[in-house]
Amino acid sequence: MRGRRPSMEDRFTIGSRVYATPGGYGYGYGGGYGYGGEGGGEDYDDDDGGGGGGGSDVTGGRAGGDDDDDDDDDEDRNSTHRIYGIFDGHGGEAAVDFVSRTLPRRLRALLAAAPPGQPDGAELRALLAREILATDAALLRHLSAIGGDESGSTCVLAVVSGDSLTVASVGDSRAVVSDGAGRAVQLTTEHKPYLPAERRRIQRAGGFIRLSGVWRVQGELAMSRALGDARLKRLGVITARADVATADLGPARQRPPGPRFLLLASDGLWDAVGSQEAADLARGRADRPLMGARRLATEAFRRGGGDNVAVLVVRVGGGGR
């Protein structure tokens, strides 16, 4: 019989995944003390100067865009959408491995099969929420099949299509966009047990939250929504229901003249660096998104963050320095 996970599960198991659609303009950098700090991982980019899709995960996981077979390449060419994501695991790596492989592939296939420019607006928001729930259901079946694994994962996704940016979030990762003037706009809110709405939902389900270093659901999980976490799902105290929102990037001619970029990161960054400061740090390397992501992760480590850090920096609009 498998026992309960340690209440401070993030001290024992570290695993994050960075996903960027091949051909997009994203770079990622991740790390965790438990896997050797800043060594290892892999970076990749295109030679044509287009930026490519790149990722590095020094926790021993893979970089994003790993499913580089011909079918995936065809899907990317046929889609007007670009997908980016951070998946931050806890309690083991089975859940984060499954989600980071399954969810982007499902979305890529659905978006590539849609007519040009569709879905958008409310349809795209509904699609993201629905596919996250479907992936969670498939994950729970998978975890049961491999012996009752109790791991889980956050998910923060961004889909860029033309002048539109749609984000979906489950857990305590975060999405921030920095406009051409350098202003940071936080697009998501972390799902923490102490938030009034989350606490009421947990209590209505018969659960409780307890302070153990931080507020935790049933004294265990430091977030109130996640994919996986099968036992807590059976109790009904956590959910994989995503918050989804759309931001209008605006026509290029109406944008401030500076660089615009999207930041996706796990809580290991946000526990150490605020949204505006993160945007300022990344903006200093706006010409090199990978270096901006590495700078943010390194700064979080320098400040003594005990969690792993996964960061994705994505250019989402024109404008020079």
Please report, as a single letter, which amino acid is at residue 2. Answer: R
Per-residue confidence of the chain (321 residues) as pLDDT tens digits?
333 333 333 322 335 666 666 544 455 556 433 222 222 222 323 333 333 333 333 333 333 444 444 444 454 554 678 899 999 999 999 999 999 999 999 999 999 888 877 888 899 999 999 999 999 999 999 999 999 999 999 999 999 888 889 999 999 999 999 888 888 999 999 999 999 999 999 999 999 999 999 999 999 999 999 999 999 999 999 999 999 999 887 765 555 556 688 999 999 899 999 999 999 998 877 667 888 888 888 888 888 765 678 898 888 765 544
In sequence order, the β-bridge partners of residue 156 are 86, 169
Coil vs helix vs strand at 294:
helix
The burial of 14, by beta-carbon neighbours within 10 Å (0-12 exposed, 13-18 middle, 19 or more buried), is given as buried
Contact 192, 223 (CB under 8 A): yes
Question: Alpha helices, DSSP H only, in 48-93?
Answer: 70-78
Model pTM score: 0.80
| Of the candidates 27, 96, 47, the residue with the CA atom closest to the CA atom of residue 308 | 96
Say how far apart CA 132 and CA 245 lie, in whole Å: 14
Would you state the pLDDT for residue 42? 29
Tokens for 316, please give them.
């989402």
Would you state the pLDDT for residue 234? 97
- Domain positions in the chain are 9-190+244-317
Would you state the pLDDT for residue 289? 80
Q: What are phi and psi of 11, to 5 degrees?
A: -80, -20
Would you state the pLDDT for residue 51? 34
Please report, as a single letter, which amino acid is at residue 133. Answer: L
Q: Which CATH superfamily is domain 9-190+244-317 in?
A: PPM-type phosphatase domain (3.60.40.10)
Coil vs helix vs strand at 161:
strand
Tokens for 86, please give them.
């951070």
